[in-house]
C-alpha cells in the first residue's frame, strides 16, 4: 500500500547469510531483497486497512478513504 489506492504484492527473498561480521568483529544484519509480483489499483483514495483471511490463502479485505470496502482475491500464491 503506497498511499495512492494501489495494492502491491511483493515476494521477499532471504539472503544467503542473515548476518556478517563488521570491522569490529560484531554481527551486522543483512537485508534480503524484494521482488514486485503484482500491482493493482483498488481505490481512488489511500487504503487505510487490509486484513488477510487466516483460513483461505489469497483472500483479503481492504478499506479506503473513499468509503469503499473491497474484497481482494490473489490467485496462484502457492506458486511463489
Are 69 and 75 within 8 A, CB to CB?
A: no
What predicted TM-score, i.e. pTM, was given to this entire model? Answer: 0.71
Give the model confidence (pLDDT) of 54-65 as tens digits: 999 999 999 999
72's grid cell: 481482494
Spatial CA neighbour of 46 closest among 73, 74, 72, 67: 67
User: Where does the chain have alpha helices with state H?
Assistant: none
Residue 1 has pLDDT above 80, yes or no: no
Element holding 48 (H helix, E strand): strand 47-52
Q: How many residues does the chain have?
A: 80
Question: Rounded to whole angstroms, how far apart are CA atoms 75 and 80?
Answer: 11
Give the model confidence (pLDDT) of 4-29 as tens digits: 889 999 999 999 988 889 899 999 99
Amino acid at each position: 500500500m503506497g498511499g495512492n489506492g494501489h495494492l502491491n504484492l511483493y515476494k521477499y527473498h532471504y539472503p544467503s547469510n542473515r548476518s556478517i561480521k563488521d570491522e569490529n568483529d560484531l554481527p551486522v544484519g543483512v537485508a534480503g531483497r524484494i521482488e514486485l509480483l503484482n500491482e493493482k489499483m483498488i481505490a481512488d483514495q489511500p487504503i487505510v486497512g487490509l486484513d488477510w483471511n487466516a483460513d483461505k490463502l489469497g483472500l483479503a479485505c481492504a478499506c479506503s478513504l473513499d468509503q469503499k470496502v473491497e474484497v481482494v482475491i490473489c490467485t496462484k500464491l502457492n506458486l511463489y
